[in-house]
Amino acid sequence: MSFTGKYELQSHENFEPFMKALGLPDEQIQKGKDIKSISEIVQDGKKFKITVTTGSKVLQNEFTIGEECEMEMLTGEKVKAVVQMEGNNKLISNFKGLKSVTELNGDILTSTMTMGDLTYKRVSKRI
């Protein structure tokens, strides 16, 4: 299954507490909570390029499955991570105490980020 496509955020849970825990300033959290971000994924075999546009903020990460890469977090901080693929529709990575799982089912892309006992879930639909 190919992840390639554009996805628009449909809903998200625990946005504010999770972003606070990440260390984002309140002003940025308030601006970002109601914006329908667009995620664009380009998959070429094991290589991925993911661009998330939220209002005027653009976050771009590129990685190859199973290889260490540098990822930019929402805070702008760069961290080392390795992204693994489970089955043919699930991307999993762990970095800086955070576990990220992105799963594609049909046209629905579900991203779940867990830090300690706090979970942030976002559901996007292919457009």
Q: What is the pLDDT of residues 25-41, one digit of tens each?
A: 998 888 888 888 999 99
The pTM score is 0.90
Instruction: Give the domain CATH number at 17.
Output: 2.40.128.20
Q: Name every residue whose Cβ is closer than 8 Å to that of residue 62 and which is 6 or more positions away in sequence.
A: 47, 48, 49, 50, 69
- Positions in the chain whose pLDDT score sits under 50: none
**Domain encompassing residue 38:** 5-126
Residue 103: per-residue pLDDT: 97
Tally of domains within the chain? 1
